[in-house]
Amino acid sequence: MNRLNTTFAGVSMRNPLILASATTGWNGNGCHRAWLNQAGAVIPKSLAPPTKFAHHPRCGRMKMIRHGKSRIGMVNIELYTTMGLEDWLHTELDKAYEGGSCIIASIVAHPNPTETAGNARTIEDTGKVAMFEINVSCPMPADQSRVGFQMGNDPETCYRQVDALKGAVSLPVGIKLTPTTHHMVPMAQAAKSAGADFLTIGNSIRSFAGVDITTGLPRLPAYGGYSGPAIKPITQRHVSEVAKAVQIPISACGGVTTWEDVVEYLMLGAATVQLCTSIMWRGYGHFITILQGLNRYMEREGLTSLDEIHGKTLPFISSIEEVSQRPPMVSRVDPGLCINLIKGGCEMCGKVCFYDAIEFSPRLTLKPERCDGCNLCVEICPVGALSLEHLNP
């Protein structure tokens, strides 16, 4: 029994892990390798850019963002495929399709939706793709041409792109929305009302890669897209906000690195997830590692289908106004765990208590009357000795 089988926007997939549109699928061979490594579906690098953007920088276009020695994300200034649509169809598609891959064609939204739709029809005629994803979310182009993420910030544009494709092709159509927005719901609603079959949330986030402080030069010479583990909280916000507001299948894309990330996104209302940076950092075999973790999790939890956890978290996401009315909590310490109470030293919680609710006289003493229930001491404690409890349990 394959417990990870899923049906996404009417298309059957062997599991919910999808190779996101990026460098990893820049040619047919890359897509095929992802398929051989058990991806549930593969999305080639975005096709058919307006001619003006057909060249991406070849003088270095990816920079790691580190915190200490750990990689927390990556900024890139890569654009769309450098291959023309006809070339891709003639030279790469057969290889990508080898073994019956489930292919989702990513199409760059042309400012004229009729052009986007024409490209989709040409691709559909091959009979080798399963669905379409319209890309209105590339974070790089920012001039007057209003392509990329600028299109994805306009509900009307999202509507017209989806509407044009729905009128031109019979396969399911989705749209990949941009997290470089203050509120994604209007775009999601517009896409749904135009007949979108699914949404991909989201893309990399428009950002800056930092400064080389020896030379004073930017680490990358243009604004780019931030991706990887660091963006997961931002993408999770968008996925859950849209999932609560719009009834439509969602493919979550942002910082998926572990099987736990996959479970989180499913619980936030996604039906599939897409992986880019984690595959770029670890190779296509990472799909298998994540699937093994997911299988073990489902076995342990006694789950027979992913539907059982779909959207589980959503009812518990509240508003800040409601949460601030809840009864206050204060921190408490477990004397059997606290380093300071056992042998002295540490005192990390005291350094981060800005309400003077933790004193050392000479050992840790909590002052519940001053505690503001912020939880920072709980988060900073290296041994999990602190927790919050209700003031009058």
Ligand X SMILES: Cc1cc2nc3c(=O)[nH]c(=O)nc-3n(C[C@H](O)[C@H](O)[C@H](O)COP(=O)(O)O)c2cc1C
Regarding 181 and contact with ligand X (CB under 6 A), the answer is no
Query: Rounded to the nearest 5 degrees, what angle is found at the Cα of 234, between the Cα atoms of 229 and 239?
Result: 110
- Which residue lies nearer to ligand X by CB, 32 or 45? 45
- Which residue lies nearer to ligand X by CB, 80 or 97? 80
Strand partners, 174: 133, 198
Q: Quote the least distance from Cβ 26 to ligand X, whole Å.
A: 8
Regarding 176 and contact with ligand X (CB under 6 A), the answer is yes
138 an active-site residue?
yes
List CB contacts of 326: < 8 A, sequence separation 6 or more.
none
Other residues' Cβ atoms within 10 Å of the Cβ of residue 173 = 28
Window of 242-250, 253-261, 305-313, 317-325 that interacts with ligand X by CB under 6 A: 253-261
- Which residue lies nearer to ligand X by CB, 81 or 101? 81
- Which residue lies nearer to ligand X by CB, 249 or 254? 254
CA atoms within 13 A on the CB side of 153: 14
Window of 154-162, 223-231, 307-315, 374-382 that interacts with ligand X by CB under 6 A: 223-231
Map residues 300-339 to x or -, x wherever contact with ligand X holds by CB under 6 A. ----------------------------------------
Quick one: which of 231, 246, 298, 381 contacts ligand X (CB under 6 A)?
231
Q: Tokens representing 132?
A: 């379409």
Window of 270-278, 290-298, 306-314, 365-373 that interacts with ligand X by CB under 6 A: 270-278
Window of 144-152, 212-220, 254-262, 323-331 that interacts with ligand X by CB under 6 A: 254-262
Contact 251, 272 (CB under 8 A): yes
Quick one: which of 31, 220, 243, 256 contacts ligand X (CB under 6 A)?
256
Q: Quote the least distance from Cβ 277 to ligand X, whole Å.
A: 3
- Which residue lies nearer to ligand X by CB, 129 or 371? 129
Q: Which of 31, 59, 102, 138 is catalytic?
A: 138
- Which residue lies nearer to ligand X by CB, 231 or 364? 231
66-105: contacts with ligand X (CB under 6 A): 74, 76, 78, 80
The residue count for binding ligand X (CB under 6 A) is: 28
Regarding 23 and contact with ligand X (CB under 6 A), the answer is yes
| Chain residues that interact with ligand X, rule: CB under 6 A | 20-23, 45-46, 62, 74, 76, 78, 80, 106, 135, 176, 203-204, 225, 227-228, 231, 253-256, 275-278
Show which residues are catalytic. 138
